[in-house]
Amino acid sequence: MDEEILKLLRENPSSFFSGERISQRLKVSRTTVWKRVKRLRTLGYDIEASTRSGYRLIQSPDLLIPSEVTPILKTKWMGKTIHYFPAIDSTNSKAYELALEGAREGEIVIAESQKKGKGRLGRHWFSPPFLNLYLSVILRPKIPPQQASLITLMAAVATADAIQKSSGLLPLIKWPNDVLLRDRKVAGLLNEIHSEMDRIHFVILGIGVNLNMDGKLFSREIREVATSLKKEMGQPISRKAFLGTLLQELEMWFAIFLEEGPDTVIKAWRDRAQVKGRKVTVTSFGKTLSGIAVDIDSDGALILQTEDGKRIRIVAGDVEYRR
Ligand code: BTN
């Protein structure tokens, strides 16, 4: 019912909507309308109430609830169904569950906070409420499972593009899918796949972007290596507008990947990553290797030239840049 009240108030943003008319339209008592308005105020909606004229919506909070997000979405199919949670363990786990139950491609899960936000390699993703973006998108690409890592590269490019469009700053990508601003991590991706040997059932694209988090909120361990858009821009950013831009970029890059094949995605990733020739230390499956990053190959693996001149393909792991 909250969403219906908001819809009516949004129809005529500058004028009052009488309590009587709202109660008639929603077929509830005027007391119920008043109680709901009071509840909406606790969520951050600034609603003016006048005994003679009714209610008027002055300002909406930057919540990611469907009634705030849907009106601004410009996508064709992505995000048309939104599963929204004020708090959840992990949007990825929820999306995985929904996909197993048959959720369609393009359905998304968003949460204002995560209690067990999952990072890569079993790490925890810090997910405090109402500040950042925690998003999982269900995709069902008809591609062989070996190409799944290209979906990760595609999503990293889309996330970097969305950050650039929303902030005017220039993000770079660190292999495989960290998005950095001034060498500090602003976004991370955790993609989970459910497949057979030769067929993907679904991919969960999990994206976390630090948007309005202040530097002091980062734990001491990550303070030096993490950042947020607010910190880099010096001003807060609208989370729902950012989500709209990100979904548009993801929809566009996914179409490019399916229609034009991996080459365009790999090229865009290379342009963003500037990995060629960098001195790196890679940790992969418990081993640490140092060398020079040569390129990424057509499956998205990192090619490393080790100090003894050997070329090695790294399919998973962590990269640290050395000076
Ligand atoms: C990384 O370690 O860099 C990946 C972080 C991915 C975090 C996002 S937040 C939304 C989605 N749900 C999760 O539990 N994790 C991903």
Give the pLDDT score at 264. Answer: 93
Task: Specify whether the CB–CB gap between 186 and 208 falls below 8 A.
Answer: no
User: What's the gap in Å between 80 CA and the centre of ligand 1?
Assistant: 22
- DSSP lists the bridge partners of residue 202 as 194
Name the token pair of 63: 């919540």
Q: Which residues contact 183 (CB under 8 A, 6 or more apart)?
A: 321
Gap from CA of 47 to ligand 1 centroid (Å): 35
Q: In angstroms, rounded to a whole number, what is the distance separating the alpha carbons of residues 99 and 185?
A: 29
Tell me the DSSP string of 119-181: -GGG-B----TTTSEEEEEEE---S-GGGHHHHHHHHHHHHHHHHHHHHS---EEETTTEEEE
Pocket of ligand 1 (CB under 6 A): 90-92, 114, 117-120, 123, 125, 134-136, 178, 188-190, 206-208
pLDDT the model gives residue 13: 77
Name the residue type at position 93: S
DSSP 8-state class, residue 118: B
For residue 176, say if its preceding peptide bond is cis, omega within 30 degrees of 0: yes
User: pTM for the full model?
Assistant: 0.88
Cβ-based burial of 52 (10 A; exposed 0-12, middle 13-18, buried ≥19)? exposed
User: What are the CA-CA distances from residue 211 to residues 72, 194, 319 (Å)?
Assistant: 18, 29, 24
Mutate to test the pocket of ligand 1, among 92, 174, 209 (most ligand atoms within 8 A of CB): 92
Q: How far does residue 162's CA lie from ligand 1's centre (Å)? A: 17
Could you give the CA distance from residue 68 to residue 44 in angstroms, rounded to a whole number? 12
The pLDDT profile of the chain, 323 residues, written as one tens digit per residue, is 888 898 899 887 778 999 999 999 999 999 999 999 999 998 889 999 998 899 999 988 889 999 889 989 999 999 999 999 999 999 999 999 999 999 999 999 999 999 999 999 889 999 999 999 999 999 999 998 988 889 999 999 999 999 999 999 999 999 888 999 998 999 999 999 999 989 999 999 999 999 999 988 888 888 889 999 999 999 999 999 999 999 999 999 999 999 998 899 999 999 998 788 889 999 888 889 999 999 888 888 899 999 888 999 998 888 888 87
Distance of CA 33 from the midpoint of ligand 1 (Å): 38
H or E element in which residue 240 lies: helix 239-260
Would you state the pLDDT for residue 98? 98
CA nearest ligand 1 atom 15, residue = 118
Specify whether the backbone of 34 is left (phi greater than 0), alpha (psi in -120 to 50) or beta: alpha
Query: Ligand 1 centroid to 176 CA: how many Å?
Result: 14
pLDDT of residue 142: 93
Residue pair 91/135 in contact by the 8 Å Cβ criterion: yes
**Distance separating alpha carbons of residues 121 and 298, to the nearest angstrom:** 23
Kindly report the number of other CB atoms within 10 A of residue 277's CB atom: 10
pLDDT given at position 298:
84
